[in-house]
Amino acid sequence: ALTREQKLALHIDGARVFNAAVALNVPLSEITQYCDTLTICLSKGLGAPVGSLLCGSAEYIKRARRWRKMTGGGMRQAGILAAAGLYALEHNVARLKDDHDNALWLEQQLRALGVEIVAPGAQTNVLYIKQPAELATKLGSWMREHGVLISAGPITRMITHINISRTDLEKVVALWREFLSEQRS
């Protein structure tokens, strides 16, 4: 209502908007019904190699295309990438629940190890872990030495997605357990 009163457009950065829709068990249209424009990332979560969608009124999209052309944006022969994006939209939205379940499973396993979780009860595929900076640095190095890349910091963000399996997460938990065991001894 405020944006309408002020004659302002409302934009949603929908990088993970499908994750929200799946977690809330609502259609995307319910989340986006009050926005004027929306971007949807096809690679975060949905597994397309690249790509985003800009959604809005026909007039807005017409202006956006003009601006894209004037500023040199665009790609040639992008059909194969568009096909991958369509596939992601048609086949990978429902499976986002698997990512959410994996994040919750990972949270439960790490909590059992005594790892502090920021905002427990993961509802989507994003998990935040809190740890002392010195421990985080050691963890990041140790995991890297064991073939797992984690950008560990005092607040570490972990994201489950289409390319992360439960088996991968089991390996992470086993390594984390081993790391903590070594730190305690």
- Per residue in 4-27, pLDDT (tens digit) is 899 999 999 999 999 999 999 999
- What's the confidence (pLDDT) of residue 4? 86
Residue 79 C-alpha from the chain's centroid: 25
Please check the confidence at residue 44 and state whether its pLDDT lies above 90.
Answer: no
Please check the confidence at residue 185 and state whether its pLDDT lies above 90.
Answer: no
Go through the domains of the chain in sequence order and give each one's CATH number.
2-91 (3.40.640.10), 96-184 (3.90.1150.10)
157 bridge partner residues: 128
- What's the confidence (pLDDT) of residue 103? 97
Neighbours of 177 (CB within 10 A): 15
Cα distances (angstroms) measured from residue 101 to each of 76, 105, 126, 128: 38, 6, 11, 15
- What's the confidence (pLDDT) of residue 22? 97
Q: Sorting pLDDT into bands at 50, 70 and 90, what band is 125?
A: very high
- What's the confidence (pLDDT) of residue 73? 85
- What's the confidence (pLDDT) of residue 26? 97
Q: What are phi and psi of 184, to 5 degrees?
A: -80, -20
pTM above 0.85, yes or no: yes
- Whether the CB-CB separation of 166 and 102 falls below 8 Å is answered with yes
- Per residue in 165-175, pLDDT (tens digit) is 999 999 999 99
Please check the confidence at residue 53 and state whether its pLDDT lies above 90.
Answer: yes
| 127 torsion bin: left (phi>0), alpha (psi -120 to 50), beta (else) | beta
Query: What is the C-alpha to C-alpha distance for residues 53 and 83, in angstroms, rounded to an integer?
Result: 13
- Per residue in 135-152, pLDDT (tens digit) is 999 999 999 999 999 999
